[in-house]
A and B are shown apart, each in its own frame.
Chain A
Amino acid sequence: GENVEQHPSTLSVQEGDSAVIKCTYSDSASNYFPWYKQELGKGPQLIIDIRSNVGEKKDQRIAVTLNKTAKHFSLHITETQPEDSAVYFCAALNSGSARQLTFGSGTQLTVLP
């Protein structure tokens, strides 16, 4: 089955700096890669996703890149703000063989004012 590894487990940045979270996956047939943000006491919420037919996707201050050859994808947050502080999860799905996402272990991002 799929295995997703996520790094780092914790990340602290100064407000206004960029944050990068990286994930690797094992199933070369995986074709869908969402990122979820989980605030304290809440369920995860989708913030951006990318499919295997593109290499990069941007949405305002958030971007995701995908390297299919290396089987890794990354989340980039620019101009970080205190409200970006949360736990971020990456996930991967092979839509041809599964319907459930495999999640990474999460990154606790803290944006220091």
Chain B
Amino acid sequence: GAGVSQSPSNKVTEKGKDVELRCDPISGHTALYWYRQSLGQGLEFLIYFQGNSAPDKSGLPSDRFSAERTGGSVSTLTIQRTQQEDSAVYLCASSLNRGSYNEQFFGPGTRLTVL
């Protein structure tokens, strides 16, 4: 079956521009996560959506970062006025989130390069 998909796979932008990254979770998964992975680093949690509940935005590094999830499915991560330090791979994951322990299925990521 279809896994988590992300687009674009690569994005090169100029400093100061806005970018939008898209995530299509696995159908039926109610939980959706965004992570940032800098070169050689672990996964840094950014934001978490669960059903119709208010998202957990505690990991967003600044107010230039925002995300939304429309219709409980597709999610868009927006970075405004990009900076060079925003360069990283942005990973999206989804899970069923029924019960306490749920495998997170990751997409292939979007590699963002800010020049």
**A residues neighboring B (CB under 8 Å):** 6, 31-32, 34, 36, 41-46, 49, 51, 89, 93, 95-96, 99-106
**B window 25-83: CB within 8 A of A:** 31, 33, 35, 40-43, 45, 48, 50, 56, 59
> With contacts A43-B91, A44-B43 known, is A100 near B33, CB below 8 A?
yes
CB-based contact A106/B50 at 8 Å = no
* Interface footprint category on B: 20 to 34
**B residues neighboring A (CB under 8 Å):** 4, 31, 33, 35, 40-43, 45, 48, 50, 56, 59, 91, 93, 97, 100-101, 103-109
CB-based contact A43/B4 at 8 Å = yes
A-B contact count (CB 8 A): 54
Q: Which of B42, B56, B100, B105 contacts A95 (CB 8 A)?
A: B100
- Kindly list chain B residues whose C-beta atoms are within 8 Å of the C-beta of A96: 100
Supply 12 further A-B pairs (C-beta < 8 A) apart from A43-B93, A95-B101, A100-B48. A36-B106, A42-B108, A43-B109, A46-B103, A49-B103, A89-B43, A99-B31, A99-B56, A99-B97, A102-B45, A103-B35, A104-B42
Minimum CB–CB distance for A52 against chain B, Å? 10
User: Can you name the residue of chain B whose Cβ is closest to the Cβ of A104?
Assistant: B42
Complex-state Cα separation, A4 to B80, whole angstroms: 30
